[in-house]
Each structure stands twice: as structure tokens, then as C-alpha cells.
Structure 1
């Protein structure tokens, strides 16, 4: 936890944008034009990220588990989050060790990310991800929260 990238990312970050780029350079907003989210890196090596669509559908009933199948599906498809340990190296590579996630299959995953800081912005992007439609790269831009 002692390299310069780690020191620079410690804190709380507010989401600015989340999109992926395909092999042709086309940018697709993953959760629409105005997703909301927060990313936290602490000093002892824990991180947490939460991202959601701006216009999430409300349930008809107020109970968290009282939604219809459609409401529950929509809620899951419009929210992304996980937490766990992290470390970084001098090249700007971040490694997230997932301890818990909204998507249960991610528990235990090692998620590699690349990062660069430009002023008060943290730009995180993935290695290329192979899909049935070709390779894509996710880009997430965060702005440092200030007191």
C-alpha cells in the first residue's frame, strides 16, 4: 500500500461517466447518459464501488423483497456494485480482490484495472473483454469528492 498510485487514489470519488468502446471506436453509454455512483479507496486496502442508472424503476410496494419478478429483474439490471481488497503497482495497474458483489459469481474474482489521474479526475479502464460481438474496453471516469 505504499506506492504513489495508491496514495493518489485514496479517498472518495463521484461517477462522471461509464461507457465502453468497441473495436471500431464506437462509444456506448453502459447505464445511459447520466449514471450515478461512488467509489471509495481507503488507507488500509479496502475499496467499494456502486453504480446505478439514473432513472431506476421504483417498486409498487415499499418492501425490498416484495417486488414483482419484473421489478426485481430491473433493479438487478440497473445496479452494479462490489467491495473488497485492492492494491496497485507503479504502472497504474489496480487489482481488486472481490469479497462481495451484487453479482454473486464475482465473489473471489481478481479484477484487473488500469488507472490514470488527470487533475481531480480518476480514469479507470479494463483490459479488452471478449464478447460475442468482438472486443470491448470499459472506461469509467470519477471526480474526487471534496469536503
Structure 2
């Protein structure tokens, strides 16, 4: 029986696993996040580092450029639609903080065990080698 992903999920951990097995945490080991899947096929996700410093402005589009860059570097968010295909969920991204993903599809193989949903990226080649991102989620209580 296929898992019903609909609902709200809380980030447990975002781990980046290198080809040599080394594990790092892109937003820190205490990052926070929310993943929402609607029954109608819409989805949204936001991930943030803990303890992000506030900007010295009340204007969300203003302030010091370096402060905005630091804030951008400690957050990832996108919205779109999703479909489950076996043990893979495919996100079709409408809008994203990282503009290169807008309009793209992101396939995420997943496992669900003991109440934890784990989404994985396909292996990606980076400047330091191949990595897989692994995001673990726990369903929020209704």
C-alpha cells in the first residue's frame, strides 16, 4: 500500500552525504523546516538554519546587501505540485528562492519507516565530489 504523503511534516535532519561517506549538515545540525503536501497535489517546503541573525531594517526588500545575502544563504524554499510514482515523489516547482529551480521537476526517491519520511536527491557532482542530500521528516500531529 502506498503512503499518503498529505499533511504537514517537520524537518528532523538535512544530511549531505559525500561519496566517501562523510556527513555534513548544509544548514547546521539544528536546522528547521516544514514540508506540506495537500491532498489536491500541491506542495510547499521551507528550510532554515537555526539562529539566523535579523536584518537591520524593517523593509524585507531593503537593508544591507551582505545581510540579505547571508539571509538568502541560510534558507531554501519552494512551492509547486507533486505526484507520487511508486517510491519516488516528483515535485514540479512553480516558484523557488533559488531561481534556477523554477519550472523544474525534482525527483526524490523516498523511504518511510517508523514514522520518518526520508527524501533523497539523486547523486550530484560538486566541486568536492559526489554527494546525496538526505532530508528526514516527521509528520506533525493533526
Task: For residue 64 of structure 1, report the CA deviation from its aligned partner.
Answer: 0.8
Partner residue of 1:115? Answer: 110
Task: For residue 19 of structure 1, report the CA deviation from its aligned partner.
Answer: 1.3
Aligned residues: 142
Partner residue of 1:31? Answer: 27
In angstroms, what is the RMSD of aligned CA positions? 1.1
Partner residue of 1:76? Answer: 72
Could you say what secondary structure the match of 1:73 adopts?
helix
Please tell me whether residue 64 in structure 1 is matched to residue 47 in structure 2. no
- Per-residue CA deviation, residues 71-103 of structure 1 (Å, 9 max, x unaligned), is 11011101100010111112x111110000011
Q: How does 1:1-147 map onto structure 2 within 5 Å?
A: 4-5=2-3, 7=4, 9-90=5-86, 92-147=87-142
Unaligned runs of 5+ in 1: none
Unaligned runs of 5+ in 2: none
How far apart in 1 are the matches of 2:102 and 2:28?
26
- TM-score where L is the length of structure 1: 0.92
How far apart in 2 are the matches of 1:65 and 1:81?
17
